[in-house]
Amino acid sequence: MMTNESLRETLNRVDPNSIADVLRTLCLGDVLRALPVYLRGVSAGATGACAQQLATLGTVVLPEDAKAAVILRCTVNAAGVQTGDFTVEPYGTTPQTTQVAVAPNGDIVFLGNDAVTKADIIYVPQKGDVLGQLSNSKLGVTSLTLPVVPGTGKCLLPSSISGKVISLLQANVLAGTVSGQKIVLVPVTAAVATTKAALSVDGTAVWFAIADAVTSVQLDLLVYAGTVTGADVNALLEAASSDA
């Protein structure tokens, strides 16, 4: 029996009889989902077609469990402007012509007027657990339909995830003077402009416009890996292995 062995070391010598348990501990599907993604021939769609983005942008909408953290390269093969490699801008930047960026909610966006209809994109997904509309007894959260204080535009997140939120994926206002999907902005420290929503910088709340008088909202969030059903692979690889 080996002692004080990390999971990394266990994987290096794993017995065929226990490999399934080890891979289950690592949540192998999540590990593979977090590997770099190679999109081929994707279109940014019609300008303003994505409810979470500014109306001036074209969007490559990504799955909620594979939103982008960073773009490694973007080669445009068909567009209304020049083709070739577009300039990758920092997260949350509103792209100008021949630029591409990761939107605040993790989608990939272009300037709509560039009319990008075919692009090859390599990106690294933002790893985490998706917390959406389904119940999750492990977190003690029965729903992500949450109240908002209309006088401040602030929606406090449940204590079980407070401070553990990576990004706001979408915000659908159920009750207020301006309902429906909101445009997601980069994290902020105070209420935002009308029709917008943003995660707080400290990850404890979501902000809306006071003028929208929001009282109820349905949120999709990306939280730290291991908070819901996934695994914090880095912590697991460093920790002592139960299979040692």
Sequence spans of domains, the chain: 35-125, 129-223
- In Å, what is the CA distance from 148 to each residue of 116, 159, 186, 217? 37, 15, 19, 7
pLDDT at position 129: 87
- Burial grade of 205 (CB within 10 A; 0-12, 13-18, 19 or more): buried
Output the pTM of the full model: 0.85
- Which tokens in the block code for residue 204? 């404890």
Query: Residue 211: helix, strand or coil by DSSP?
Result: helix
pLDDT means per 10 residues, the chain with 244 residues, are 62 70 70 88 94 97 94 97 97 97 98 98 93 55 82 96 95 96 98 98 98 96 80 64 54
pLDDT at residue 231, rounded to an integer: 63
